[in-house]
Amino acid sequence: MIALDPEKKFMNWKLVCSDIDGTLLDKDRQLSQRTIDILKDIKDRLPVVLISSRMPKAMRHLQEELDILTHPLISFNGGLVLDYSSGEAKVLSSIEIPVNIAELIIEFSKNSSIHTSLYHNDEWYVAALDYWAEREMNNTKVHPEVADLQSICEQWKSDKKGAHKIMCMGDASDIQLLYNYLLLHHSETIHVYRSKDTYIEIASKEISKLSALDLLLDHSYDINLSEVVAFGDNYNDEEMIGGVGMGVAVGNARDEVKTVSNAITKSNKEDGVAIFLEELFG
């Protein structure tokens, strides 16, 4: 772990935010007791914001464990920012992927191994409860609705809405073909994240975790990005880690994330976030 700059260690940090998968959760994809204890200890002193590619419903049970149900959250890599200070969800920002992109992906994926999931807020649609759907259900504790995806797109057109996220999973070779296609033809419209060779996560090009965090700070708090501590591990965390006052990469993070970080803590499987917060806040 990189030693903390004394000036940063004793700064008046005003908000903590963390990615979830690969960062905050342990090897069993759970919040460890050590992580729960330190976040509960600091939550009344400063806001604790979960920031993830997950849908809100897949984050709320973690907020409940941490007793931060009235704290805001940032879902879909910044595509949806929600304020729960009143006890009800208030949408601060909602930026969606155009429906035609979803339709192109569905068509491209026909007769392949690719599973496509469509997300809008707490709606999650799949064509079948296959291996990939079951895997996501196990990881996120949320159940999707089985539906004809083209029909969902038609309904979304009628309702004038789009997808907050599209997730594609399948054999590495098929995923590579789709990844290449999307980068070649739609890189100006969408972000294409590839956390594994069998996964693609797609979001609007207009958003990022950092831009969503900046929007939240501007709307709800008198806090600057320079006063924020943020934790992450993957490509979609890189801009956030490099853009806040204390960007911390967990030990298992991508090298690109470590390069832009102010500090590196232990891995998620070793309670890296908890260890760092214990040192920072004592």
pLDDT in tens, 13-47: 999 999 999 999 999 999 999 999 999 999 999 99
pLDDT of residue 126 exceeding 60 = yes
pLDDT of residue 57 exceeding 80 = yes
* pLDDT reported for residue 194: 86
Q: What Rg do the C-alpha atoms of the chain give, in angstroms?
A: 18
First to last CA, the chain: 17
Residues 89 and 216 in one domain: yes
Q: What is the CATH number of the domain that holds 189?
A: 3.30.1240.10
Residues 163 and 88 in one domain: no
Residues 161 and 118 in one domain: yes
Residues 78 and 51 in one domain: yes
The more confident residue out of 144 and 5 is: 144
The pLDDT-based confidence of 5 (bands split at 50, 70, 90) is: low
pLDDT digits (tens, 9 = 90+) for 236-253: 999 999 999 999 999 999
> Cβ(196)–Cβ(218) under 8 Å?
no
pLDDT of residue 6 exceeding 70 = no
> Cβ(249)–Cβ(265) under 8 Å?
yes
Number of domains in the chain: 2
> Cβ(254)–Cβ(246) under 8 Å?
no
Does 54 reside within a domain?
Answer: yes
Average pLDDT over the chain, rounded to an integer: 94
* pLDDT reported for residue 195: 78
pLDDT digits (tens, 9 = 90+) for 170-224: 999 999 999 999 999 999 999 998 878 999 999 999 999 999 999 999 999 989 9
Residues 173 and 197 in one domain: yes
Does 18 reside within a domain?
Answer: yes
Task: Identify which of 144, 194, 203, 190 has the alpha carbon closest to the alpha carbon of residue 170.
Answer: 194
Residues 61 and 141 in one domain: no
Task: Give the pLDDT mean for 259-280.
Answer: 96
66: containing domain: 14-94+208-281
Whole-structure pTM value: 0.93
φ, ψ of residue 101 to 5 degrees: the values are -65, -45
What percentage of the chain exceeds 70 in pLDDT? 96
Tell how far CA 2 is from the center of its chain: 25
Task: Identify which of 43, 129, 78 has the alpha carbon closest to the alpha carbon of residue 236.
Answer: 78
Does 145 reside within a domain?
Answer: yes
